Amino acid sequence: VAQALLAQASHLIASRFEPQAPPLPRSGAALACLPPGAAGVAMPAARRLGACLVCLLGLLDRSSAEPGGHSAFLARAGKGGATAPSDGGRHVMTLYHQTSKEAGLSILREGFWMSKPWAICGAAIYMCPTIAETDVKAVGGRGYIIELQVDVGRVRTMGPVCNMAMNEKRLEKQGYGSITLDRAGLFECVGVKPCREYVIYSNDRILSMKGYEHHGPVPRWWKALHPGARPEASLANATNSSAQPAFLP
């Protein structure tokens, strides 16, 4: 309810000051929101505030693909390694996910849980191709790496804001098994290149997992989100490693 109200508020703010401006995209549409001045985009103050509110939803609501998230939106993402990918192609990659040690050990025992359905690529499991990139992406708990062998199949490249309406069935209809995107220069990735993510929709694509401690650099935006928190602490709402922090100073 809170998320819907915020989205409506952002739309009302924009329409109040700019009657001719088109409405912001609804949940489930591709969310094309850019920070002020990004990629040469000029955005009046009212639209900028509205877009900021919507993008913040993407940060706050991309709950972890981990046990212990918001139970009303959790759904198991299949059983790890149980079936062969359905897109027909086999392409195994080593990928990484950073979280707290407590959440990481739970993932190793039980597998990942899907993120909320309005995450940037929909309800999914989000990973990075390098450990360094998880340091940028880990919004919630930190200090523990899950290293995965993942059969990503045929990979679809998408833009930096992806598509919240995407899901496993739709992706497979298009002939793909996973998604990759690079958010370099945007949101949490300002000054970071590359800043990549890989997205899958089922634990069935995960062939193996192992975990170990890791203490990388902590971004300034993380400290702003969690004032006074220790990076290695298990946060109540540990979030997906690939959630974007939108427009933090």
Given the candidates 3.90.228.10, 3.90.79.10, 3.90.25.10, 3.40.640.10, the CATH classification of the domain at 71-225 is 3.90.228.10
Q: At what angle do helices 45-60 and 2-17 cross, to 10 degrees?
A: 170
The CA-based angle 206-55-189, given to 5 degrees, is 65
| Ranges of residues in the chain whose predicted pLDDT is under 70 | 1-88, 232-249
How confident is the model at residue 33, as a pLDDT? 35
- In this prediction, residue 118 carries a pLDDT of 82
Tokens of 121: 């690529």
pLDDT in tens, 72-93: 233 445 544 334 455 557 899 9
So what's the pLDDT on residue 87?
A: 55
pLDDT digits (tens, 9 = 90+) for 151-161: 999 999 999 99
Q: What is the pLDDT of residues 126-149, one digit of tens each?
A: 999 999 999 988 877 889 999 999
Give the pLDDT of residue 145. Answer: 95
**Residue 40: its pLDDT value, please?**
37
Which helix H or strand E contains 47, and what residues bound it?
helix 45-60
CATH 3.90.228.10 domain position(s) in the chain? 71-225
Interior/surface letters 20-55, b for 16+ CB within 10 angstroms, e for the rest: eeeebbeeeeebebbbeeeeeeebeebbbbbbbbbb
Q: Show the tokens assigned to 161.
A: 């804001």
